[in-house]
Structure 1
Amino acid sequence: MKIPQLRIKIFLLTVLLINGMFLCSANNSNLKVDSLKPKLISFKIKLKTIEKAKIQTSALKFNKHLAYSFTVDDGYRSTYLTAFPLLNGGKISGRMISEWKYDQGGDGTTSKGLYYTNGLGNKIPFKLGLAINGAAIGDFSASRGHLSWAEVKEMYDTGWDVLNHGFHHATKHGTNFLTEVTENTTSIKQNLGFTMSQFVVPGGESDPGYQLEYERDALANGSFSVASYVGSGPTINVKEKVNLDKMIYARTFIHSSNDTIGFQTMDNYLKTIEAVAKSENPVWYNEFTHGVGNQNLWSLSMRFQDFKYYMTTIADKYGAKGDDSIWMAPWQEVYEYIWLRDRIKINYEQNNKEGLVTIELPEIPETFRYRAISLLVDTPSKFEVEANSPDFKISSDGKTKHKLITIQLK
């Protein structure tokens, strides 16, 4: 049977079109794969000797031994009036009677701040985390008991972190836990311009197991970890890789006792800090309280004199004035450091006195606030770092102790 020439031409044209579509699809597929290539950054190290250096990630930022995270829950105004100026430096409020008839002020003194260093001699103020309920934050009278949006923003802008604590701090029967999580996220986004990524389960009168519902809904709606009653911590060994996936963690509750004479209660808590600081491996330790004014708010808080004694003692022993072994940073900052630390890949090649460090970076979540990594350098030689990239800033102690490099990604 003779096939008409027109049909043959149509058949051949169809084959060509199909093949062309396949090749185009393959090329597009390759382009897509290429676009997913890992991001690399690199810099040079110029050493004084030819002995090969070794480079690895530091367990904690600035090669600290103790990461200490402290959170103040519920967004009480005493945090801004007393704790913030004590730690960051500034005028501490005097007596301030809030709407609840509690004195939420401090001692009226001026603080020079409490500090640790970045390992290069630069002082960094102690910082806390703020677990807040958006429904309670506003701009009310001078006697208000809760923070204002402006106060929260000021603390956030200096490096304090804001953690999701539910919109209304609701815990009772009938609570819509999902709405509590998402409405608070929306509230902070609308008023402060960022998306929270860590959740703290609010405490209070509740049905048994209510925290499990909060944990579930928070982890399913943007939170990377949740502070609850039972879980990892309050002390976490960070020498090796830490399982941060949907982490549930516990914290130590710090509060003043009824005994107002001396600091015996605080000294007992400090013994725990001392034991943690003596751990063989680098560790991450978490504590929290509520108010920090002159009176023990709701009997769930620290009186300011106790708080001041507690933080000052820690700073004097482990901060810039002491052995400088502490990294005093909020939960989110430490979490994000460890997350990045456990995902980067380092390649080091050295030729005579010049080394090339290449780091493969993971895709970092958009809601992450921190993008820094510290590297430990094992070498007897002094060195200089040479980097010309708009993607990161780099600092080192190459000319002094020649042990530490810190990279701040942009």
Structure 2
Amino acid sequence: MKVPHSQIKPFLLTFVLLINSAFFCFGNDYTTKTDSTKTKIISFKIKLKSDNKVKLKPAPLKFNKHFAYSFTLDDGYRSAYLTAFPLLNGGKISSPDKNEWKIDQGGDGTISKGLFYSDGFGNKIPFKLALAVNGGLIHDLPVNRGRLSWPEIKEMYNAGWDILNHGFHHATKHGTNYLTEVTENTASIQQNLDFTMSHFVVPGGEGDAGYHLEYEKDALANGSFSVASSGVGPVFNVNSKVNLDKMITSRTFVQSSKDTTSFKTMDRYLKIVDSIVKQPNPVWFNEFTHGTGNTNLWNLSMCFPDFKYYMTTLANKYGTKGNDSIWMAPWQEVYEYIWLRDRIKVDYKQKNKEIEVTIELPEIPENFRYRDISLAVDTSSKFEIESNKDLNIKDDGKTTHKQIFIQLE
């Protein structure tokens, strides 16, 4: 379903918004409560090669990265599977492919080796996006369908892409039952893919004035931790606590222009990203588009050559081929990391070359997909970790001495 141009922020307005919000940080008041009786303690020891003093704290972002970038594809168009997924994850990109609407959602037919950042422990991780989908519009037929199928969404989900609630039918017009749109889509994904979505993206389109407010209210009241709509952001300073409670964020879009002879439009978007990355504090930036095929779907999408150029440039500058400062992860993954980061209590005691570390964990919501902790380590000494076998922990103590990573069950 089309989104009117009035829903899309013009480029210059977007630029001003991003620069003005680059240092924006939410307040520290939380209304979400955790049950202190259900907290858990984990512990381990750090064995140093020297007895220099060590500082230890939760890293602002996973893998102690400087820049988290979340990118979402709206509406569940099939170009996500034909072009975006193989480009980022590695694989055969579709050749030109006209769908049931006579629109080319394919790509250039090449083989991609994937686009990566590293975890700081010698492992490459593919760039991952999120899909905002409408369960009522997902079908397996026809063969040349314009929308994704259930197996295609499942494959991308299994590869680490996140699935966000976008309403069951993408309904916005007068008479829409917003509550039903929210809850039926949740039930549809649960039934077909066996997981519960926890974040909502308000669908754009023609509707009554303020219809997005109804979506926001019903989504937050029915299981969504955050809503992408017309709120704060989309750039957040994450160097201190972030108020994620009933979070409503703004959306900005990356889309191709009518100029198909060069990448000047993409270069302007990339210049904004570069200005954000250069901020002194760690930041989180969130963007959207629709299709990523050869045709600019509804004139609200990225043509595949632009998408390929944009993502490849990000990987070459900020991924493993560049300075490796990016954490290219979907909205849900970043949200859940920051939520946990701000609620753990880290305590450590150093005695000569040994440090005892204890971490108190809060009760984590059952439908969280990610339960990861990154600790930033400030030391010049090599070190190694001593822990029980049940704790999934790794470190870079023999190389850069900068981080410890814990993956909770």
TM-score (norm 1): 0.90
Residue 402 of structure 1: aligned partner: 401
User: Using the alignment, how far apart are the partners of 1:38 and 1:133 within structure 2?
Assistant: 36
Post-superposition offset of 1:292: 0.5
Residue 27 of structure 1: aligned partner: none
User: Using the alignment, how far apart are the partners of 2:148 and 2:277 within structure 1?
Assistant: 33
Residue 136 of structure 1: aligned partner: 137
Task: Describe how 1:68-217 pairs up with structure 2 within 5 A.
Answer: 68-217=69-218
Matched, 1:282 2:263: no
Aligned Cα root-mean-square deviation (Å): 1.1
Residue 384 of structure 1: aligned partner: 384
Post-superposition offset of 1:38: 2.1
Post-superposition offset of 1:347: 0.7
Against the structure 1 CA distance between its residues 196 and 37, is the aligned structure 2 distance closer, same or farther, given a 3 Å change threshold?
A: closer
Post-superposition offset of 1:48: 1.1
Post-superposition offset of 1:35: 9.1
Task: Describe how 1:265-276 pairs up with structure 2 within 5 A.
Answer: 265-276=265-276
Gaps in structure 1 of 5+ consecutive residues: 1-33
Residue 259 of structure 2: aligned partner: 259
Post-superposition offset of 1:349: 1.1
User: Using the alignment, how far apart are the partners of 1:168 and 1:38 within structure 2?
Assistant: 40
User: Using the alignment, how far apart are the partners of 2:264 and 2:354 within structure 1?
Assistant: 56
User: Using the alignment, how far apart are the partners of 1:250 and 1:140 within structure 2?
Assistant: 34
Compare CA radii of gyration and give the structure with the larger one. 1
Post-superposition offset of 1:389: 4.1
User: Using the alignment, how far apart are the partners of 1:52 and 1:318 within structure 2?
Assistant: 31
SS of the equivalent of 2:346 reads: strand
Post-superposition offset of 1:232: 1.7
Matched, 1:53 2:54: yes
Residue 18 of structure 2: aligned partner: none
The aligned amino acid for 1:239 is N
User: Using the alignment, how far apart are the partners of 1:100 and 1:157 within structure 2?
Assistant: 29
User: Using the alignment, how far apart are the partners of 1:376 and 1:263 within structure 2?
Assistant: 38
Post-superposition offset of 1:260: 1.0
Gaps in structure 2 of 5+ consecutive residues: 1-34
SS of the equivalent of 2:399 reads: coil
Identical aligned pairs, as a percentage? Answer: 72
Runs of 4+ residues deviating >4 angstroms: none
SS of the equivalent of 2:266 reads: helix
User: Using the alignment, how far apart are the partners of 1:336 and 1:201 within structure 2?
Assistant: 20
TM-score (norm 2): 0.90
Matched, 1:233 2:224: no
How many pairs does the alignment contain?
Answer: 375
Residue 348 of structure 1: aligned partner: 348
Residue 316 of structure 2: aligned partner: 316
Residue 330 of structure 2: aligned partner: 330
User: Using the alignment, how far apart are the partners of 1:284 and 1:352 within structure 2?
Assistant: 37
User: Using the alignment, how far apart are the partners of 2:338 and 2:356 within structure 1?
Assistant: 24
Which deviations, in whole Å up to 9, do the C-alpha atoms of 1:43-65 show, x marking residues without a partner? 11111122231110000011111
Post-superposition offset of 1:371: 0.3
**Residue 68 of structure 2 contacts residue 327 of structure 2 at CA under 8 Å; is this kept in 1?**
yes
Residue 368 of structure 2: aligned partner: 368
Which deviations, in whole Å up to 9, do the C-alpha atoms of 1:205-256 show, x marking residues without a partner? 111100000000000000000000x212110110000010000001221111
